[in-house]
Amino acid sequence: MSHHLFLLSPSDTPIYSLTHYTSKPTQTTSYPLSSNLPTWSTSAFAGTLTALSGASSATQSHHVQGGSTKMGGGQDRHVIQMIANASLDMIEEVMRKESAMYLKSVDKFNEWTVSAFVTPGNMKFILLHETKNDEGMRSFFHEVWELYLKTMLNPFHTAHTPIRSTVFDTRVRASAKKYL
C-alpha cells in the first residue's frame, strides 16, 4: 500500500511531496472476467484481462527488493499528481463548509481516497491513500504540521519555497512509518 503526501502553499504551488510505501502486504485485486477462468489460464491473459476489466496498466504492481510490492512506474506518478491537483476544488468547497483543520476524506478517485489538512496560514497538506485510518492520519498531519512550522522558523528558509531539508524529509518519513 502506498501513501502520497503533497504540501501546497497558499497559492497552490507544491513545496514538498513524499511517496511512502508500507511494508504491509497488499490485497490482490480480483477482476470479474478472470473469476470465470481456471487459474492456469489467467496468467497468460493477465494483461488482456486487466485491459478488459477497466483497470489501467499504470496501476499494475511489480516486485522490488525485499519481496514487497509497489505500485506502477513512471506513469503512475503523473496520475497521482493529477488526482491531488483535481481535489483542490473539493478541498476549497469543504473548507467553506467546515472550520476544522483536518478535513478527513474530501474526494475519491478509483481506489484513491484524498484526505486534507489546512493550516491557519492556508497551507494545504494533501494525502492520497487506499486505506482508512482516520486517527492515524490525524496524528500524521499534526506531526507534519509541527515539522513544517519548525522549518518555517528557520531563518535560512524562505516561506512558500520548496523544502529541501534532509532533516525535514527524514522526520516526515519516520512519522509516515509510525502513523500510516
Q: Which alpha helices (H) appear in the chain, and where do they start and end? A: 39-42, 46-52, 74-86, 88-97, 134-152, 166-179
User: What band does 131 get if pLDDT is binned at 50, 70 and 90?
Assistant: confident
More confident residue, 130 or 41: 130
The reported pLDDT for the residue numbered 98 is 86
Q: With 50 as the cut, is the pLDDT of residue 37 above it?
A: no
CATH code where residue 153 lies: 3.30.450.70
Residues 6+ positions from 141 with CB-CB distance below 8 Å: 101, 102, 115, 117, 125, 127
Q: Which range marks the domain in which residue 140 is found?
A: 1-21+75-179
Number of domain units in the chain: 1
DSSP state for residue 24 in the 8-state scheme: S
User: What band does 163 get if pLDDT is binned at 50, 70 and 90?
Assistant: very high
**Mean per-residue pLDDT, 37-42:** 47
Is 67 among the domain residues?
no
The per-residue DSSP string of 92-127 comes to: HHHHHH---SEEEEEEEETTEEEEEEE-TT--EEEE
Residues forming beta bridges with residue 118, ordered by sequence position: 124
**Mean per-residue pLDDT, 71-96:** 79
C-alpha cell at 170: 527524514
Is 16 among the domain residues?
yes
Report pTM: 0.69
Q: With 80 as the cut, is the pLDDT of residue 153 above it?
A: yes
Is 119 among the domain residues?
yes
